[in-house]
């Protein structure tokens, strides 16, 4: 009996062992899941984001800035090359963790003052001297009198205060890039901001032929101030920054302006590109390589037809306060303690300048120069053919501490933290990350534009998003962000995870909400994001030419404390490390907050299983634009028998498709679906903005193809092509222009319907 029991026990044991061996010991003939099954379904790792946030170091950002601002680094100069070398050193360092870094060169057409023959602006006695050497130039609009007595000479360089930065021999003289050279002389007039309406108004009182117009920054693009003037016979333009617009009215460098505060000293001058279009001016739509076809410099469009020169407000005050003629309107008045008159034309009879002319001797020249982008890459593990691009320009006008080196310092820090993780083998992004340090942005976003022209097909097919952080910190009050509406959610999500600098227990998000907010029908009160409707930084080519989803961010002002149109040292020789570390962001905590927020977004874009792009938020913006368009235009359009119904129905289609897409994403267990289903959804989200491109919609706007976000001159918060066409049709004598309004309605309806088609079930 016991034997039997033992036998049975043995059998039972053997049976059990058999089962165990069978189950664990023998591999199933249906092989186990391939190793990539888990990898392809991995989502963003929140603990990795926490680690990233904790490792972003404000002092390293400060060190980066110190290094980058040692010398002036205007595009294509020796100082620029120094920064190229620095970026390459950082990103090519095997310790950096980047997979590759390299430079890409373009041969681009830039404009410079002649150091041997600096630009001069003088007040000269109007005594006309015969000048036989110029008889051969009868086309010059005014007689030129180099021998006229100089009663006043505008300062040629900015004053040095506390350190030698302003004395660096490589500080470029203030000038207007792409202003033509020329020697012109005329009676001075004051033309406010140089808008079309300003010249129109001024010309009613003063005969502008042969005059020099002085204008203040703001209201119109730089180049526009000269372009708008030329049709009236104005022969030259001066431009300055009024203390009203930049210094909250303060003017004295004895105790008010830098080095006593962040305000611009009287000799400070904003430099800038005076070209309207972006990209290399000689190679439209083509990457500017050695043998690329170039148009003739005379055929460049959108640049000043007459000389223009920026000057400091110290000199501008001297000139404006002496002007004769009638008093200009209240809206034209600035901060100088005098009445701003139109000009007689020219100066008051009571002035020491009476009957004098202003003489401009401008010697700018154009030249094709080598400009470099520096690129760095972390290859994606699962979807290397999907790119998240993060970029900023590298070139400045002078030392460029804020513009752009604050952004570059942030980029270097976040690439350091991410690269270190790659190097350690603890992380690699799902998608590829491309860092771009663009060249020659200050001359018209040239490096980034050439990059997009060269690589258009692959960038447009593969880029998930472009993140631009140019000036990282304008001021240290609050975050500011702009972008396509679809990125709002990921910006908010990231901003909620970052502590606001200088405010206890408050997130960047909560702090932002206090400074700038709006009410969203779907989300309630939320921070107000901007749109990327212009070409203010390197996002332009990505947004407007390629239709790539993009965002731009920075820390910025407390508007209750300043009305400055931009930080006062902008594009001057005062934008230095000293200025930044004393007045903009002492301690670099705002830089750190931007690095954390932007880096957080970058990681989410690169690692999320489903792209963090929200199409319902896009729908909300379209509905908002539509509402404005209907209220502004519908009544008038009905009188021309033009229906807005197709546009309304397109926006409704988009909303419906967006809602369905959201529901589909939320109701699916995507981590357990075929990776091709996730890819399908991600492609729909990634390519959504491409549907809004129309290369023919704006024949007069260079490389503006995105029909929702293109620039507009109508000043309405609605669809740009429609707004501009409507404004132009409404102006007198344009009855046939209503066809163009109808055309833009059709373009928009088709584009929005196409975008909706991208979101609905694929077939």
Catalytic residue numbers? 441
Residues 694, 704 contacting (CB under 8 angstroms) = no
Number of residues that bind its own copies (CB under 8 A): 86
Residue 95 CB: number of other CB atoms within 10 A? 10
By CB under 8 A, name the one of 322, 383, 617, 724 that touches its own copies: 383
Residue 22 CB: number of other CB atoms within 10 A? 9
- For position 50 contacting its own copies by CB under 8 A, the verdict is no
CA torsion sign for 260, 261, 266, 269 is positive
- For position 638 contacting its own copies by CB under 8 A, the verdict is no
User: Taking CB under 8 A as the rule, which mask of x and - marks residues 460-479 in contact with its own copies?
Assistant: -xx-----------------
By CB under 8 A, name the one of 21, 78, 129, 150 that touches its own copies: 21
By CB under 8 A, name the one of 2, 130, 291, 732 that touches its own copies: 291
* Stretch near its own copies under the rule CB under 8 A, chosen from 122-130, 349-357, 614-622, 673-681: 673-681
Residues 425-444 interacting with its own copies (rule: CB under 8 A): 432, 434
- For position 679 contacting its own copies by CB under 8 A, the verdict is yes
- For position 457 contacting its own copies by CB under 8 A, the verdict is yes
* Stretch near its own copies under the rule CB under 8 A, chosen from 184-192, 234-242, 349-357, 378-386: 378-386
- For position 746 contacting its own copies by CB under 8 A, the verdict is yes
CB of residue 292 to its own copies, shortest distance in Å: 5
- For position 637 contacting its own copies by CB under 8 A, the verdict is no
3-state secondary structure of 250: coil
By CB under 8 A, name the one of 89, 339, 458, 627 that touches its own copies: 458
Residues 696-735 interacting with its own copies (rule: CB under 8 A): 696
CB of residue 753 to its own copies, shortest distance in Å: 8
CB of residue 755 to its own copies, shortest distance in Å: 7
- For position 575 contacting its own copies by CB under 8 A, the verdict is no
By CB under 8 A, name the one of 1, 2, 5, 28 that touches its own copies: 28
Helix H segments across 609-672?
Answer: 615-639, 645-667
Helix H segments across 505-580?
Answer: 508-515, 539-540, 577-579
Residues 384-403 interacting with its own copies (rule: CB under 8 A): 384-385, 387
Residues 270-289 interacting with its own copies (rule: CB under 8 A): 283, 285-287, 289
- For position 9 contacting its own copies by CB under 8 A, the verdict is no
Q: Pick from 306, 310, 434: which is nearest to 380 by CA?
A: 434
- The tokens describing 78, both together, are 């020796």
| Cα angle 44, 45, 47; round to 5 | 150
- For position 33 contacting its own copies by CB under 8 A, the verdict is yes
Output the CA–CA distances (angstroms, integers) from residue 682 to 349, 463, 655, 686, 709, in the order listed.
71, 11, 18, 6, 22
By CB under 8 A, name the one of 36, 102, 365, 640 that touches its own copies: 36
Q: Pick from 123, 183, 264, 133: which is nearest to 572 by CA?
A: 264
Rounded-to-integer distance, Cα 598 and Cα 602, Å: 6
- For position 26 contacting its own copies by CB under 8 A, the verdict is yes
By CB under 8 A, name the one of 2, 5, 34, 254 that touches its own copies: 34
Q: What CA dihedral angle connects 468, 473, 478 and 484, to 10 degrees?
A: -10
By CB under 8 A, name the one of 510, 683, 713, 728 that touches its own copies: 683
- For position 634 contacting its own copies by CB under 8 A, the verdict is no
Q: What CA dihedral angle connects 116, 117, 123 and 126, to 10 degrees?
A: 140
Rounded-to-integer distance, Cα 338 and Cα 329, Å: 13
- For position 453 contacting its own copies by CB under 8 A, the verdict is yes
Cross-strand bridge partners of residue 111: 366
Buried b (16+ CB within 10 A) or exposed e, 519-538: eeeeeeebbbbeebbbbebb
Which residues lie closer than 8 Å to 535 by C-beta, 6 or more apart? 278, 445, 544, 711
CB of residue 181 to its own copies, shortest distance in Å: 25
């Amino acid at each position: 009996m016991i034997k039997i029991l033992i036998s049975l026990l043995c059998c039972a044991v053997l049976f059990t062992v058999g089962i165990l061996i069978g189950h664990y010991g023998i591999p199933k003939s249906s092989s186990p899941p391939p190793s990539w099954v888990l990898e392809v379904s991995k989502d963003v790792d929140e603990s990795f984001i926490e680690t990233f946030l904790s490792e972003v170091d404000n002092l390293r950002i400060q060190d980066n800035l110190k290094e980058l601002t040692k010398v002036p680094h205007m595009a294509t100069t020796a100082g620029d090359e120094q920064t190229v070398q620095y970026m390459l050193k950082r990103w090519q360092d095997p310790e950096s963790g980047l997979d590759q870094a390299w430079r890409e060169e373009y041969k681009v057409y830039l404009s410079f003052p002649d150091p041997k023959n600096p630009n001069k602006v003088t007040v000269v006695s109007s005594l006309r001297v015969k000048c036989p050497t110029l008889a051969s130039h009868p086309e010059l609009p005014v007689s030129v009198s180099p021998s006229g007595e100089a009663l006043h000479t505008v300062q040629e360089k900015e004053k040095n205060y506390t350190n030698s930065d302003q004395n660096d021999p490589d500080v470029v003289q203030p000038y207007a890039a792409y202003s033509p050279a020329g020697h012109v002389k005329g009676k001075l007039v004051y033309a406010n901001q140089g808008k079309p309406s300003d010249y129109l108004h001024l010309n009613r009182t003063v005969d502008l032929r042969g005059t020099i117009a002085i204008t203040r920054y703001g209201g119109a693009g730089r180049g526009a101030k000269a372009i708008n003037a030329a049709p009236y016979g104005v022969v030259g333009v001066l431009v300055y920054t009024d203390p009203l617009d930049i210094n909250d009215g303060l003017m004295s460098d004895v105790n008010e302006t830098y080095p006593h505060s962040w305000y611009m000293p009287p000799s400070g001058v904003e430099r800038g590109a005076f070209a309207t279009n972006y990209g290399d001016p000689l190679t439209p739509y083509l990457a500017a390589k050695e043998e690329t076809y170039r148009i003739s410099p005379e055929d460049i469009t959108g640049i000043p037809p007459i000389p223009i020169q920026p000057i400091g407000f110290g000199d501008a005050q001297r000139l404006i306060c002496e002007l004769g003629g009638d008093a200009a309107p209240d809206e034209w008045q600035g901060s100088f303690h005098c009445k701003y008159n139109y000009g007689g034309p020219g100066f008051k009879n009571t002035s020491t300048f009476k009957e004098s002319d202003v003489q401009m001797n401008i010697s700018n020249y154009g030249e094709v120069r080598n400009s470099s982008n520096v690129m760095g890459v972390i290859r994606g593990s699962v979807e290397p053919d999907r790119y998240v691009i993060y970029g900023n320009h590298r070139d400045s006008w002078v030392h460029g501490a804020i513009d752009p080196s604050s952004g570059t310092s942030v980029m270097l820090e976040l690439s350091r933290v991410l690269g270190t993780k790659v190097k350690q083998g603890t992380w690699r992004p799902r998608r590829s990350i491309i860092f771009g340090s663009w060249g020659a942005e200050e001359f018209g976003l040239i490096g980034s534009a050439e990059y997009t022209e060269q690589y258009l097909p692959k960038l447009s097919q593969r880029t998930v998003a472009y993140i631009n952080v140019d000036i990282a910190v304008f001021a240290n009050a609050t975050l500011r962000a702009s972008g396509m509406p679809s990125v709002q959610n990921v910006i908010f999500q990231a901003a909620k995870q970052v502590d606001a600098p200088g405010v206890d227990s408050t997130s960047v998000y909560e702090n932002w909400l206090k400074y700038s907010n709006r009410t969203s029908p779907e989300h309630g009160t939320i921070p107000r994001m901007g749109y990327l409707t212009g070409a203010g930084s390197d996002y332009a080519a990505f947004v407007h030419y390629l239709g790539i989803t993009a965002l731009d961010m920075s820390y910025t002002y407390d508007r209750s404390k300043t009305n400055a149109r931009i930080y006062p040292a902008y594009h001057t020789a005062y934008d230095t490390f000293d200025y930044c570390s004393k007045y903009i962001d002492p301690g670099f905590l705002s830089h750190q907050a931007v690095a954390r927020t932007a880096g957080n977004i970058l990681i989410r874009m690169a690692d999320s299983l489903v792209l963090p792009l929200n199409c319902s938020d896009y729908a909300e913006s379209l509905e908002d634009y539509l509402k404005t368009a209907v209220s502004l235009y519908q009544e008038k359009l009905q009188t021309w028998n033009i229906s807005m119904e197709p546009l309304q129905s397109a926006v409704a289609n988009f909303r419906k498709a967006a809602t369905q897409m959201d529901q589909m994403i939320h109701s699916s267990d995507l981590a357990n679906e075929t990776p091709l289903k996730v890819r399908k959804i991600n492609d729909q989200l990634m390519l959504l903005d491409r549907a809004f491109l129309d290369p023919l919609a704006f024949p007069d706007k260079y490389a503006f193809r995105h029909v929702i976000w293109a620039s507009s001159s109508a000043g309405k918060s609605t669809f740009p092509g429609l707004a501009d066409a409507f404004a132009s049709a409404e102006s007198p004598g344009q009855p046939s222009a209503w066809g163009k309004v109808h055309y833009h309605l059709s373009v928009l309806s088709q584009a929005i319907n196409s975008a909706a088609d991208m979101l609905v079930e694929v077939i």
